[in-house]
Structure 1
């Protein structure tokens, strides 16, 4: 034990008597529910490189896919609708849930359908492959 660094020795000694020492992380908390700042990006800029925690009302959050459903109780998100339906009818099965219905109708075959791009650009993968080979 004499060969361990002093920091580890002190930490171990304190831990053995029930005291845990951890590094404090600097963080900034921004509350969009109380109009601390008007936009999440403003909070990031104001945090000056510290960890940035942002409290946001659910009504302002949308999912991160291209459907952009709101997470409000009445926002139409298939997951939320399924939870609401289950709350009203606990006998509901997965086969007759709003989530099953949604995914029965929504099955994009590729990324351009997922993003609702009517005229996707030509495939650039072969050109990218040639460029990578030329760099070698």
Structure 2
């Protein structure tokens, strides 16, 4: 498939909201959605009091950019207060947890790279996820 035939654009409404780990995570650009091979990215929304449960990525760095509101990210025990316009790097193997401790919605854009060798190896929970459901699958063919 050439780049002119390959899907390259994804609208946020096309991406299913995954709430397994808390909050709302939408994977937009991934091997499954657009056939990318170097990483994946998406959008996170946390309502007041919501969080993304603690986890780590054994193969990937995570990049977070705050679009709106405020987050608190704990990375290996260090707490980072993040406001609109801030970016944060989460290193490979660093345990991290994202929280909205304010009374306003918080929105952010994230990217992880490089990809794990297989999707099931990309994400390790260190805290019980608050909701039932399958893990987000970003890999595989379309």
Shorter-chain TM-score range: under 0.3
Q: TM-score, normalised by structure 2?
A: 0.21
Highest Rg: 1 or 2? 1
Between structures 1 and 2, the one with greater strand share: 2
Q: Which has the higher contact order (CA 8 A, sep 6+)?
A: 2
Structure number with higher helix proportion: 1
